[in-house]
Structure 1
Amino acid sequence: MHDQHSSAELPHLRRQKILLILERDGKVMASGLSQHFAVSEDTIRRDLAELDNAGLVQRVHGGALPRPKDTGKDYFTRISETDEVKTRLAQLAAQRVEDGQIVMFDSGTTTLQIARSLPSDISITAITTSPMTAISLAEYKGIKVILAGGQLNLATLSVSGHETLRLLQGIKADLLFTGVCAIHPEVGISSLHFDEVPVKQALIDSASQVIAVTTADKLGAVEPFVVAPCSRVHTLITERHVATGNIEDYRKLGIEVVQVEV
């Protein structure tokens, strides 16, 4: 009781504890937190609003979900932070590519790393919405590179618009490496950027196999704009250690889950 009383008197302490519960459970509900801390649901909603404004959680109806750690960072910052985990995930994903395939690469620093991890003698046709990825793919002698045109988003360094959609909708690819801002078993794949949504949907619709490659912090997270349900993903490649949620929730949806020891 003393703990509940203290947390009620100290909002910053209560919010820290909410973050710990969110990390442990992968989701928090205002009603449950209200009972746990012996405060009103209005108080909890204000706490969640403050945490959301600080970029620490993603508010949803009735509660909150984790927010990916790199949300809001610009492209070049994320490239400079590419670590051993992303490199290992990309190397494993690149092994899925076979000679003669038509492969699509979504925008994002992880898909860029996948492009850089392909075998030097691979022979494929590659389509991408990312100029940076196109440049990396152009270094391979055996890769024919098709770069979608359109308006460049400076935050993501990817293209979007009618020209982009027209090209993607006319392709039937063998494989897509989709960029992931956030992926939640109930909400699906979601994005921070509204103009990315139709492009990502067109990429998914045009691929026979969809592979999502992501670090663990994006699992169980939600961004404002929903792209597609998790059922559209065939394979999920991620870390062995998952801090939030339950990896089995993705397997139950029929997704092949590959976890990498790093």
Structure 2
Amino acid sequence: MHDQHSTVELPSVRRQKILLLLERDGKVMASALSQHFVVSEDTIRRDLAELHAAGLVQRVHGGALPRPKDTGKDFFTRVSETDEVKTRLAQLAASRVHNGQIVMFDSGSTTLQIARSLPSDIVITAMTASPMIAITLAEYTGIKVILAGGQLNPATMSASGHETLRLIESIKADLLFTGVCAIHPEVGISSLHFDEVPIKQAMLDSASHVVAVTTADKLGAVEPFVVAPCNRIHTLITERHVASGDVGDYRKLGLEVVQADD
């Protein structure tokens, strides 16, 4: 009896079946798909690349995940949406801030939510390259805000360039809330935007303790520009249920992993 996939199958049909498997399992791996469809891993990688280019999947190391929820949405759309998961994660992160600290806030909708979640009577010095985060922090009477200047990236609504780097490098922070586009235990932290990389690297170098706050869909994901290995993070705060990867992989790297209660 012939295998059901032994005959040549149109790529478009195979890709549709890959999407169905992804919907069912929450993640697909190139090696398993290669065996399932009896084609080479190179063929599967091309399939996943085409599906990623079409905005249908999120590529990760060795396979693919469902497309992130905010794909295709601009910054203002993301920050205006109410997300209970992000709110809970931000509250957990904000509880790590103590009076008298110097705290860096990376750009991003999640770090903006952390700024909104700080105790009303907190007394800290805060530094950020994000004008929106700076405005949010300025509403606290006990927070001294340092805003890094530079060229504004409309995609991230954050400054970058030599001026931004010089200011970041001149500060030694107690705590950094770093934004995360994607984090993979082997690849590390990666970004969709090239000009973010040196800014994020400088912030990592300038902070004594680094906290990354991310939803589960960014775990195991990979973006084009690598920022740093995972061990540059000290604490990872994420969701309780993680379909896209095993948090144990991050604990093995020495990270403190904190998962929000349901």
Normalising by structure 1, report the TM-score: 0.91
Q: What is residue 203 of structure 1 aligned with on the other side?
A: 203
Q: What is residue 124 of structure 1 aligned with on the other side?
A: 124
Q: What is residue 244 of structure 1 aligned with on the other side?
A: 244
State the AA in 2 paired with 1:64. Answer: G
Change (3 A) 1:120 1:163: same
**How far, CA to CA, are the matches of 1:230 and 1:73 in structure 2?**
27
**How far, CA to CA, are the matches of 2:248 and 2:9 in structure 1?**
35
**Which structure 2 segments of 5+ residues have no match?**
none
Whether the 8 Å CA contact 2:210–2:233 is kept in 1: the answer is yes
**How far, CA to CA, are the matches of 1:195 and 1:128 in structure 2?**
16
**How far, CA to CA, are the matches of 2:8 and 2:115 in structure 1?**
48
For residues 18-42 of structure 1, the C-alpha deviation after alignment (integer angstroms, 9 at most, x for no partner) is 53487346xx23x442222113445
Q: What is residue 84 of structure 1 aligned with on the other side?
A: 84
**How far, CA to CA, are the matches of 1:2 and 1:17 in structure 2?**
19
The percent identity for this pair of structures is 72
Q: What is residue 109 of structure 1 aligned with on the other side?
A: 109
Following TM superposition, by how much is the alpha carbon of 1:245 offset from its aligned partner in structure 2, in angstroms?
1.4
Q: Which moved more, 1:39-48 or 1:13-22?
A: 13-22
**How far, CA to CA, are the matches of 1:181 and 1:100 in structure 2?**
29
Whether the 8 Å CA contact 2:27–2:64 is kept in 1: the answer is no
Whether the 8 Å CA contact 2:48–2:64 is kept in 1: the answer is no
Whether the 8 Å CA contact 2:60–2:221 is kept in 1: the answer is no
Whether the 8 Å CA contact 1:49–1:59 is kept in 2: the answer is no
3-state SS in 2 of match to 1:126: strand
State the AA in 2 paired with 1:16. Answer: L
Q: What is residue 16 of structure 2 aligned with on the other side?
A: 13
For the aligned residues, what is the CA RMSD? Answer: 2.1
Q: What is residue 194 of structure 2 aligned with on the other side?
A: 194
**How far, CA to CA, are the matches of 1:199 and 1:13 in structure 2?**
39
Change (3 A) 1:64 1:143: same
Whether the 8 Å CA contact 1:215–1:239 is kept in 2: the answer is yes
Pairs aligned (count)? 257
**How far, CA to CA, are the matches of 1:175 and 1:162 in structure 2?**
22
3-state SS in 2 of match to 1:194: coil
Following TM superposition, by how much is the alpha carbon of 1:85 offset from its aligned partner in structure 2, in angstroms?
0.5
Following TM superposition, by how much is the alpha carbon of 1:48 offset from its aligned partner in structure 2, in angstroms?
1.5
Following TM superposition, by how much is the alpha carbon of 1:2 offset from its aligned partner in structure 2, in angstroms?
5.9
State the AA in 1 paired with 2:69. Answer: K
Whether the 8 Å CA contact 2:49–2:59 is kept in 1: the answer is no
State the AA in 1 paired with 2:58. Answer: V
For residues 231-251 of structure 1, the C-alpha deviation after alignment (integer angstroms, 9 at most, x for no partner) is 000000000010111110000
3-state SS in 1 of match to 2:141: coil
**How far, CA to CA, are the matches of 1:241 and 1:132 in structure 2?**
30
**Which structure 1 segments of 5+ residues have no match?**
none
Q: Which moved more, 1:68-77 or 1:92-101?
A: 68-77
Runs of 4+ in 1 over 6 A off after TM superposition: none
**How far, CA to CA, are the matches of 2:42 and 2:250 in structure 1?**
33
Q: What is residue 54 of structure 1 aligned with on the other side?
A: 54
Change (3 A) 1:12 1:174: same
Change (3 A) 1:182 1:59: closer
Whether the 8 Å CA contact 1:188–1:228 is kept in 2: the answer is yes
Whether the 8 Å CA contact 2:111–2:177 is kept in 1: the answer is yes
Normalising by structure 2, report the TM-score: 0.91
For residues 58-82 of structure 1, the C-alpha deviation after alignment (integer angstroms, 9 at most, x for no partner) is 265xx43435432443111111223
**How far, CA to CA, are the matches of 1:240 and 1:42 in structure 2?**
34
Q: What is residue 226 of structure 1 aligned with on the other side?
A: 226
Q: What is residue 64 of structure 1 aligned with on the other side?
A: 63
